[in-house]
Amino acid sequence: MLNGKNIVLGVSGGIAVYKAVALTSKLTQAGANVKVVMTKHAAEFVTPLTFQAISRNEVYMDTFKEKDPKKIAHIDLADWADVFILAPATAHLIGRMANGLADDMLTTVLLATKAPVYIAPAMNVHMYDHPAVQQNMNILDQWGYKFIEPGEGYLACGYIGKGRLEEPEKIITLIESDLQQKKKWCGKKVLISAGPTREQVDPVRFFSNFSSGKMGYALAEKAVELGAEVHLVSGPTSLPTPRGVIAYDVTTAEEMFEQIVNLYAEMDIVIKSAAVADYRPVQTFDHKMKKKDGPLTIKIERTKDILQYLGDTKAHQFLVGFAAETQDILYYGKEKLTKKNLDAVVINDIGRKDIGFNSEQNEVVYLSKKGSEKRLKRMNKKQVAKQLLELMDSEVRKD
Ligand code: CTP
């Protein structure tokens, strides 16, 4: 898989730099073109000449060493890369990346590249567990960077624990299988709706619901990983847009309807995980409603059922709905599958506090028109998303 691929290997300063030499060698043996970028601390452990001899390419360290006046080296290198690997990635490099710093050649190229970036951390176990490092890794994870988790074992500092750079062979296998995944939905257009909608009462008040958008955003991120062109129509959330996603921000159910209907005809797969408000105020006031004595009645009316409309007008699309239920979840889920003319429905038990709305975890049942019924055990929403897309994939492929 790596044969002919252009790989930039970023090497930062830790004792595991010696393994990066072996990684360079294995990558070139696999037929990849490898260019190495080192931090100046990495060069304290192994000289650039070693990497140059093994990669048969010039090694980059200095942003201002512009050898070719026709090119800007860091942009040229960023564009050249098909794949970017950081091994070893130190706590310092991870921290600089999570803060968007570009204070040397490596971090500058990293900011400029559009290639997938795989980060293989290596550090002392306590450093790895430190909340600052964990938080930085979470930020990078949310931005779509891929982590190759360090292994457990003897560390150079004498401790035994997690922090050892993964073995070069394993790094290559993990990257190859990830790149393989990317081919699955290559050429497919996927539309995902996420988050709540807000229906405004007056300039300071609205009706909405507890949806955080986490499930839909996780689906969007994983669909990008399968190589799809992903369109994410989202109500208001506090989540960052996943890397590689085409995002459309909407507020009301009506705006969501308009945006989705505009995109629908050209989509192959549509997943409606948004928690759309079923009702909105009949009237939205321009001025703040002043309080009065006694109860207040606000007249509300139905919004459009977007999913029902999509089901009724469906052509070639594989249409997936979500069902948020608090009781008889299978019964009501099946009912939505048929009534809304869906290909599949994902049933969420929102009555449970430990899963669903705003939680990091979810436990769902996937039901399809073709009769598959799969209960996914409780796990984090990214894992749920990955498994749901695999289930959809097996059915889309059969068509
Ligand atoms: N949905 C939609 N438009 C609406 C309401 C819901 O597209 N106005 C979609 C949701 O995105 C979800 C599915 O319909 O994919 C089911 O939503 P849910 O809230 O579980 O059910 P409802 O259809 O609203 O039905 P009920 O309130 O009776 O459970």
Q: What is the pLDDT of residues 301-314, one digit of tens each?
A: 999 999 999 999 99
Q: Give the strand pairing for 199-202 and 205-207.
A: antiparallel
Nearest ligand 1 atom, CA 193: 11
| Ligand 1 lined by 215 (C-beta under 6 Å) | no
Three-state SS at 185: coil
Give per-residue pLDDT as tens, 309-332. 999 999 999 999 999 898 999 999
- For the ranges 28-37, 151-160, 192-201, 223-232, the lowest mean pLDDT is seen at 151-160
| Ligand 1 lined by 198 (C-beta under 6 Å) | no
Sign of the dihedral defined by the CA atoms of residues 161, 135, 381, 395, in that order: negative
Fold type of domain 6-181: Rossmann fold (3.40.50)
Q: How far is the CA of 112 from the centre of ligand 1 (A)?
A: 41
| Ligand 1 lined by 253 (C-beta under 6 Å) | yes
Q: Mutation test of ligand 1: which of 250, 304, 307, 337 has the most ligand atoms closer than 8 Å to its C-beta? A: 307
Longest dimension (CA), the chain: 83
Fold type of domain 189-398: Rossmann fold (3.40.50)
Q: What is the pLDDT of residue 320?
A: 98
Element (H, E) at 278: none
Phi and psi torsions of 217, nearest 5°: -65, -35
Give per-residue pLDDT as tens, 99-139. 999 999 999 999 999 999 999 999 999 999 999 999 999 99
Q: Give the strand pairing for 160-164 and 151-154.
A: antiparallel
Residue labelled with tokens 């909105």: 280
DSSP code of residue 269: E
Phi and psi torsions of 59, nearest 5°: -100, 135
Q: Find the angle CA(300)-CA(303)-CA(305) to the nearest 5 degrees.
A: 145
Please, are residues 381 and 373 in contact by the beta-carbon 8 Å criterion?
no
Q: How far is the CA of 350 from the centre of ligand 1 (A)?
A: 13
The boundaries of every CATH 3.40.50.10300 domain in the chain are: 189-398
Phi and psi torsions of 65, nearest 5°: -90, 80
What is the DSSP track for 297-319? ---EEE---HHHHHHHT-SS-EE
Which residues are designated catalytic? 157
Three-state SS at 166: coil
Give per-residue pLDDT as tens, 175-193. 999 988 888 999 999 999 9
CA nearest to 112, candidates 68, 156, 78: 78
Residue labelled with tokens 């930039």: 8
DSSP code of residue 277: -
The boundaries of every CATH 3.40.50.1950 domain in the chain are: 6-181
Residue labelled with tokens 């994902």: 346
pTM: 0.82
Give the CA-trace dihedral at 85, 90, 94, 97, to 10 degrees: -70
